[in-house]
Amino acid sequence: MLIVFEFAALTATVVLAILWIRDPSGNYEPWTVLCGVVLMITEICRRLRGKSHHASFPGSKEEMLAWFQEHGPVKPLTELLPRALQLAQKVQNQELEHWARMELYGYNSDGGMTEGDTVPEYRAIGGRYIDVHGQILHIDDPKLEFINAYRLRLGAAQLEELSKKTEMQNLQDPGYLQIIRQNLGVNVYRFCFNPVELIGVLQNIRNALLEKIRRLA
């Protein structure tokens, strides 16, 4: 129904514009304003409908689990994780709620990370540390190969945005940089990685989420 009103208002606006071009002295302003108001009202109604639909998600535990079974493999994490939070709160599962909040907002104070929490291994991406001159830190010792990996703390939204990039990405973690400088004597400046690495991280988070959801069934 909203689309009908929008189409009618848009058509009327176009007609009024044509009439105004042909007859600039005509009094078309009130009708143009009316069409604009109709378009604005329909947009507000659409947004309110969307919010209402989102707010109606909780339902029963069974309905929520069924939703995840259907949409879990395809929906973006930025939609799945907020719903996982709602489900966790409904069934009073503090472990799931805590985990989902960190995955959504990041492994930091915003995500509620505590001293006992660690960034999961499934968030690790491969890359190389580079110094200020662009020289790559080469690790030949197999025991130190873990240095070429970095566990991302970013929230789901940032991970999804980064995964869409095509150029190499860089990040700076002062803590890690300092550890390498102190233990290896190399003055590295940044960690460089291919954003393709994030596709695997996002899938790992999805798999972990679906596994936690299945345990609630």
**Residue 194, by phi and psi: left (phi above 0), alpha (psi -120 to 50) or beta?**
beta
d(CA 54, CA 43): 17
What CA–CA distance (Å, rounded) separates 94 from 162?
29
pLDDT value of position 143: 77
Q: Give the model's pLDDT for residue 34.
A: 60
Rounded CA separation 60/57 (Å): 9
Digitized pLDDT (tens) for each residue of the chain, 217 residues in all: 545 555 565 565 555 456 556 666 666 566 555 655 555 666 555 555 544 444 456 688 999 999 999 999 999 999 999 999 999 999 999 999 999 999 999 999 999 999 999 999 999 999 999 988 888 888 777 777 788 899 999 999 999 999 999 999 999 999 889 988 888 888 999 999 999 999 999 999 999 999 999 999 8
